Amino acid sequence: MSFRKVAALEDLWSGEMMGLEVDGQCIVLVNLDDRIYAYDDACPHQNSRLSEGTLTGKTLRCARHHWEFDASTGCGVNPWNTCLRGLPVMLDGKNVLVDVNHGKTLGAIVNGGSEQ
């Protein structure tokens, strides 16, 4: 795994999301109850940026056609049979690190080398 610093933890408050670009790849970070999740910033429907949508509770909603996802798992809510491409996340002190080259697992949180 190749983790890179992508944000400061203080820049992403609980209940917020943030879209950013890392190594030419657009990602969206989501903070749910002080747990950070990272996904490709692309809705599987038509690649619209998820960061332009809304986060209500745990539901991440695409602005374009209103597809909804559980932001804590990446699993589809509406429609239920689709998922987001998750990226591993690690917290290093006050920094959020993401392995943007991994992308085959759901948004796992790793804290100091072990999952929370």
The domain in which residue 56 lies consists of 4-115
pTM for the model stands at 0.84
Domain of 52, CATH number, reads 2.102.10.10
Q: Per-residue pLDDT tens for 57-101?
A: 999 999 999 999 999 999 999 999 999 999 999 999 999 999 988
Q: Rounded CA gap, 24 and 8, in Å?
A: 19
Which of 97, 76, 79, 78 lies closest to 88, judged by CA?
A: 97
Q: How many domains does the chain have?
A: 1
pLDDT value at position 13?
94
Q: How many CB atoms lie within 10 A of CB 101?
A: 14
Q: Per-residue pLDDT tens for 16-32?
A: 999 999 988 999 999 99
**103 pLDDT above the threshold of 70:** no
Q: How confident is the model at residue 104 (pLDDT cuts 50, 70, 90)?
A: very low
